[in-house]
Amino acid sequence: MGIRDDWQITEIRAIYDTPLLELIYQAASVHRQHHDPKQIQVCKLISIKTGACPEDCSYCAQSSRYKTEVKPEALLSQETVVSIANDALKSGVSRVCMGAAWREVRDNSQFEQVLDMVKEVTALGLEVCCTLGMLTETQAKRLEDAGLYAYNHNLDTSEEYYSTIITTRTYSDRLNTIANVRQTNVTVCSGGILGLGESVDDRVGMLHTLANLNPHPESVPINILSQVPGTPLENQPDVPIWDVVRMIATARIVMPNSDVRLSAGRARLSQVEQAFCFMAGANSIFSSDDGHMLTVTTPCPGYDSDSEMLNLLGLSKRPSAKVGHTSAVETVNI
């Protein structure tokens, strides 16, 4: 399967509408042409700066616009972040994602601290991803110099539907940050959320935008809305599993080389449902020490239950792509 960036939206819609088991079979075939189907990357999200975000993303617990259970917290210390990353490494995590509830990065002491965190966690041999809001090209270059592996900046839904979900920024703001990251060798992580009230055309529209980026995002998170009490989307119905499988399979087919990440909302899925997602081409999950959250309010399965599931399914944890992978034990002795 070749890599294309000239998809017609009608082509992607036709893929999405393929009879379900045939779609899964096609996606599983593409997956095997581009990836080791037995490997799943296990990631860990660390919320390094929580809450009090000025943006109004209508799904988000961290927006200061909504009354949610999230209490704003200061930027975590570097020591805390490195310790969490070390524990994650020992549990087979190979990518750590540091999230900050910011609209954009500011050139201040907090950004300097984040750059140091990137350096320290990278030195553990982990792939480090940051998701800090909007970014200038200069800031992207500083993250590159610090050794950043990936930058997450989700499109979340179609351009047409975006302003229904978020009004404090635009779709082109998102695409600009992705373009700024592309001026560096930092890889791009960009995907979206199902369950926002979007139509199938909106889902297909988001994939059309992502799959016509050249190069494709190296990583495409597919989130399932976690309904957060206090947010405008708190009463949205659950997303049917077959919608999740269709989205993953279609993402797999139109972006064959990308990692397709089964992200937020996975805690609600059974092992069988997750197995269907892996068959459809998902090759990454977020995990955590038991009880911790994926995003500050969306629950995340624990390391142990995920290890059991992966063993049961005959899957293994993908090692870090960083050269000179060092183990947590060596670094702990420093």
Residues lying near ligand SF4 in the complex (CB under 6 A) are found at 53, 55, 57, 60, 62-63, 101, 133
**Token pair in block for residue 174:** 């998102």
Closest CA to 266 of 230, 220, 303, 298: 298
Q: Does 129 count as an annotated binding residue?
A: yes
Nearest C-alpha neighbor of 247 from the set 321, 323, 330, 157: 157
Q: Is 60 labeled as ligand-binding? A: yes
| DSSP assigned state of 7 | -
CB of 55 to ligand SF4, least distance (A): 4
3-state helix, strand, coil in the chain (%, to 5): 40, 15, 45
Which of 286, 251, 292, 290 has the alpha carbon at shortest distance from 269?
A: 286
Q: Which helix (H) or strand (E) holds 276?
A: helix 271-279
All residues at 6 or more sequence positions from 240 whose CB lies less than 8 Å from its CB, including other chains: none
Smallest distance from ligand SF4 to CB 56, Å: 7
For residue 209, the partner it binds in ligand SF4, ligand SAM, none, with Cβ less than 5 to 8 A by kind, is none
Q: Which residues are catalytic?
A: 53, 57, 60, 97, 129, 189, 261
Q: Which does 63 bind (CB under 5 to 8 A by kind): ligand SAM, ligand SF4, none?
A: ligand SF4
The answer on whether 300 is annotated among ligand-binding residues is no
Nearer of residues 30 and 102 to ligand SAM, judged by Cβ: 102
Q: Which does 223 bind (CB under 5 to 8 A by kind): ligand SAM, ligand SF4, none?
A: ligand SAM
Length of the chain, in residues = 334
Question: Quick one: DSSP state of residue 184?
Answer: S
The contact set with ligand SAM (CB under 6 A) reads: 59-60, 99, 101, 131, 133, 153-154, 156, 193, 223, 225-226, 228, 264-265, 295, 298
* Of residues 99 and 301, the one with the C-beta less far from ligand SF4: 99
Residue list for the binding site for [2Fe-2S] cluster: 97, 129, 189, 261
Residue list for the binding site: 53, 57, 60, 97, 129, 189, 261
